[in-house]
Amino acid sequence: MTRVLGAPGRWSVAAQTFALQVLIAVLVVAAGLVGAYGQAQRAGDQEAIARALAVAETIAATPAVISAVQGPDPSAALQPYAERVRVETRTDFVVVMSRDAIRYTHPDPTQIGKKFIGHTEDALAGGVVEEDYTGTLGPSSRVVVPVTDAGKVVALVSVGIRKSAVGERVRAQLPGLLLAGLVAALLSGLGTALVSRRIRRQTHGLGEQQLREMYEYYDAVLHAVTEGLVITDLDGRLRLANDEATRLLALPADAVGRPVADLGLGPALTAALTDDASHEDELHVTSARVLVLNRGPARWQGRLLGHVATLRDRTDLEALTGELDSARGLTEALRSQAHESANRLHTIVSLIELGHTDRALDFATDELQVSQLLTDRVVGSVDEPALTAVLLGKAAEAHERGIAFGIEPGSHWPRGVAPMRDVVTIVGNLIDNALDAVTGGPGTPGSARPDRQVRFASRVEGAYAVLEVSDDGPGLPPGGVEDAFRRGWSTKEQGSAGRRGIGLALVAQTVERLGGTLEVSGPPGATFTVRLPAGGDDA
């Protein structure tokens, strides 16, 4: 089957590079050969002049020549001598002439006695004539030197070499020049083939248009994708980060090419972006966001190039999830209370039916007093309805799980300290953490010991509003405080929703964003103290 090459513009980059390099190599070699030939021609001319000058000066200084040119018959004495010198020196003519340029010798005896064709003025003045001139033998490179006796010019000597003879000598060198050019062309072709092979391997045989389109689409996709995309190499260096990844991670402008460990990310996130493991739907908390990370190896034809990670912003979703969990907890607490209220109502009805009306009245009054006392304390301490609802819901959940939940007397939380969404996030997560710490895990009703309880307190200290949540649980392990707030770390098993360890990290993130401080003390137990500037705006 005959393969027809398309237009050069559709060739691969390697093929185009090879063709251009071959063309350049051919032009360079051709130019080199032309230059070498010209240089050889100039060198031949210079060598001919130098040889002719040496022969002419030697003849002019010979005593027999000086004597003969002043004798009665110079031609008879000099013609045999001149021809012998011409043959021995491989020159084309040796002409001895008078001061009036009348030839005494010549390779063609018929020219003897005739006037020399050429310039002799400088030689008559004692100098040397070097010129290319066309005489009786055709174009030649010649010299004319004076023959002196006692400082007086008595005759002239001209020696020349025909241009055709010089050309023949240069042409004799041409096979060597062509051989050198051929060797240069072969070496250049070999180098070009190796370069083309390397380019083909690096560009995967793609054409110029394909590479341009690939880059344009690649760049457009990176800017358009809504997820953060991060690519790291095997040395843990950042090789690519799109716009969304740069925004989510707050990367500096010169981040690409630097080690991930030098980008100021948290320890857990840095480890997740640089280790060799795969990560799926991991939650990571930065100073301002909650991110979902997925990471896997990037391979090309079985060869590991690095790792690719995607990042999704889950900050708002995580806050809403926390609020939803609180609402679910409150719903569950109301369901439990409705169930208990039904049991109490049945008890009261039964006591009345049995005729124990006094005991039924006492039973109903006691239950109402306990519930009303907690409600009155919460309502009297907190001016924010949303925070009141959260505390009542957590109190009901604690009661269902067998935990004593108390609010310190004199507690007070003023209105407008911070956006209520943030306050609910802080209080809800701290109380959830305390309830889990007391019972040993979420949703384990009845497992609390009678001497364990959770307490909430709030107050104003100068320019700060302070809230505290404390419990009688085991407290954080040594060294666990920093992990709990910076890494989303948890002492409990991972939940089904993958949210374990995020609550305290969200608290720390929210407090930092609001310009407050967060402290923890214990064991025994654990007390979380949050201080927020009291001049915030309500949301």
- Amino acid (1-letter code) at residue 23: L
Q: Of 200 and 512, which is predicted with more confidence? A: 512
What residues form DSSP beta bridges with 122? none
Q: Quote the pLDDT of residue 488.
A: 47
Helix (H, G, I), strand (E, B) or coil at 469: strand
Q: Quote the pLDDT of residue 447.
A: 46
β-bridge pairing 526-533 and 464-471: antiparallel
For helices 208-224 and 13-60, angle between their N-to-C axes, nearest 10 degrees: 130
Token duo for residue 219: 């760049």
Is the pLDDT confidence value at 13 over 50?
yes
Q: How many Å apart are CA 224 and CA 335, to the nearest integer?
A: 47
The CA distances from residue 67 to 23, 63, 64, 85, 147, in Å, are 65, 6, 5, 17, 10
Q: Quote the pLDDT of residue 495.
A: 40
Average pLDDT over residues 240-262: 84
Whether the Cβ atoms of residue 467 and residue 407 lie closer than 8 Å to each other: no
Return the C-alpha torsion angle 50, 55, 58, 62, nearest 10. Answer: -160
Residue located via tokens 């001016």: 383
What residues form DSSP beta bridges with 313? 291
Order of strands, sheet of 303-313, starting from the edge strand that comes earlier in the sequence: 238-241, 228-233, 303-313, 290-300, 279-285
Token duo for residue 309: 């990670």
Encode pLDDT of 283-294 as tens digits.
777 766 777 888
Q: Quote the pLDDT of residue 334.
A: 64
Is the pLDDT confidence value at 258 over 70?
yes
Q: Quote the pLDDT of residue 460.
A: 86
Highest mean pLDDT among 298-302, 321-325, 339-343, 376-380: 298-302
Q: Quote the pLDDT of residue 235.
A: 86
Q: How many Å apart are CA 228 and CA 218, to the nearest integer?
A: 15
Encode pLDDT of 51-80 as tens digits.
888 888 888 888 888 888 888 888 888 889
Q: Of 366 and 429, which is predicted with more confidence? A: 429
Residues 6+ apart with CB under 8 A from 517: 511, 530, 531
Order of strands, sheet of 138-149, starting from the edge strand that comes earlier in the sequence: 93-97, 152-162, 138-149, 129-135
Over 393-460, what HEC string results?
A: HHHHHHHHCCCEEEECCCCCECCCCCCHHHHHHHHHHHHHHHHHHHHCCCCCCCCCCCCCEEEEEEEE
Assign 3-state DSSP to the chain and report helix, strand, coil percentages, each to 5.
Answer: 50, 20, 25
Please report which residue ranges of 250-312 form alpha helices under DSSP H: 267-274
Q: How many Å apart are CA 201 and CA 51, to the nearest integer?
A: 58
Q: Residues 257-269, buried b or exposed e (16+ Cβ, 10 A)?
A: eeebeebebbebb
Whether the Cβ atoms of residue 348 and residue 367 lie closer than 8 Å to each other: no
Long-range CB contacts (within 8 A, 24+) of 178-187: 178/33, 180/36, 181/29, 181/30, 181/32, 181/33, 181/36, 184/29, 184/32, 185/25, 185/26, 185/29
Q: Which sign does the torsion angle of CA 203, 208, 211, 215 carry?
A: positive
